[in-house]
Each structure stands twice: as structure tokens, then as C-alpha cells.
């Protein structure tokens, strides 16, 4: 008789603990850490990025590993999707936000962000690298 009583109680108890865990305050970055990380490797050289566009999945954390092969370059991305309403929230959340990420020649630089909102995000070189520097652009598409 006793065993049956315990068995009947066990599911209720686990339900209680699950409910309790959901009630605990969760700092928002934890959500991102639990998600899968998409690693994408590309190169930067005069005057192009090797991928154009770069496709990533919405809701994932992304690591862009960019190797500058021939010269110092830069990486600057628009964090609000193309065509968004004015004052829209950024659809890309960079782990360490900075205006222009320097890509040093011969080195691989990792840029990490959360791809929150579907859309197209232009990025470009932000370190003067030569005559056609201004045309060194690509797109990130969050599908």
C-alpha cells in the first residue's frame, strides 16, 4: 500500500519542481546562451567579403569568423533590418557592440551576435583599404 502512495505522489512532486523552476527569475542573456551557435567563416580582401549574402537562421546566436587575407579591413553592420519602421528595435544584438570592428591582416576576428529578427542587414568595410574601399559591401540575411 505504501509504495502505491509514493508512486502516486512522485509525478505531483516533479510537477511542483518544474513549476518552481519556471518561477525563478531568469536573466535574459541566459536564453541566448542556451541556443545553438551558428559559426560562419568568411574572408575579407580587396574589395569583397567571400560571402554575399551571408545566411543565418533567426533565433540563433551567430559567430562570424572573418579572416582578412590581404590588408587590414573593417566590419560595420546595420543592426536594424532594411525597411524597418523608424525607431525599430535592433534585430541583431551584438555581444560586444562597437561601431567598426577592425579586421587585422592575417588574423581571424570573431563577431558574435544574436540574430533576433528576420530581415536583411547590410554590412561593409569601415577601414579605408584602397581605391574601391567604398564598394566593399555585403549583406547578412536572417531567414
C-beta of 133: minimal distance to Cu ion in Å? 4
Residue 101 engages Cu ion in binding (rule: CB under 5 A) = no
Binding-site member from 129, 139, 140, 142 for Cu ion (CB under 5 A) = 129
Nearer to Cu ion, 115 or 136 (CB): 136
Q: What does the alpha-carbon distance between residue 56 and residue 89 come to, in Å, rounded to a whole number? A: 19
Residue 111 engages Cu ion in binding (rule: CB under 5 A) = no
Q: What does the alpha-carbon distance between residue 93 and residue 112 come to, in Å, rounded to a whole number? A: 9
Binding-site member from 54, 66, 125, 139 for Cu ion (CB under 5 A) = 125
Contact range with Cu ion by CB under 5 A, out of 28-36, 61-69, 101-109, 118-126:
118-126
By CB under 5 A, the count of residues binding Cu ion is 4
Helix (H, G, I), strand (E, B) or coil at 17: helix
Q: What does the alpha-carbon distance between residue 32 and residue 116 come to, in Å, rounded to a whole number? A: 10
Per-position DSSP letters for 44-67, written without gaps between them: EETTEES-SSEEE-TT-EEEEEEE
C-beta of 70: minimal distance to Cu ion in Å? 11
Helix (H, G, I), strand (E, B) or coil at 49: strand
Binding-site member from 76, 105, 133, 137 for Cu ion (CB under 5 A) = 133
Q: What does the alpha-carbon distance between residue 44 and residue 49 come to, in Å, rounded to a whole number? A: 5
C-beta of 130: minimal distance to Cu ion in Å? 7
Residue that has been written with the C-alpha cell 590588408 in this structure: 71
Residues that bind Cu ion (CB under 5 A): 125, 129, 133, 136
Amino acid at each position: 500500500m505504501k509504495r502505491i502512495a509514493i508512486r502516486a505522489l512522485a509525478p505531483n512532486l516533479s510537477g511542483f519542481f518544474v513549476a518552481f523552476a519556471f518561477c525563478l527569475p531568469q536573466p535574459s542573456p541566459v536564453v541566448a546562451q542556451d541556443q545553438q551557435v551558428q559559426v560562419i567563416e568568411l574572408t575579407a580582401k580587396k574589395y569583397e567579403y567571400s560571402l554575399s549574402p551571408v545566411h543565418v537562421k533567426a533565433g540563433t546566436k551567430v559567430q562570424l569568423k572573418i579572416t582578412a587575407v590581404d590588408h587590414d579591413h573593417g566590419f560595420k553592420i546595420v543592426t536594424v533590418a532594411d525597411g524597418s519602421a523608424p525607431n525599430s528595435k535592433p534585430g541583431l544584438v551584438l555581444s560586444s557592440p562597437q561601431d567598426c570592428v577592425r579586421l587585422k591582416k592575417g588574423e581571424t576576428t570573431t563577431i558574435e551576435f544574436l540574430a533576433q529578427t528576420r530581415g536583411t542587414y547590410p554590412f561593409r568595410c569601415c577601414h579605408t583599404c584602397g581605391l574601391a574601399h567604398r564598394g566593399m559591401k555585403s549583406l547578412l540575411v536572417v531567414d
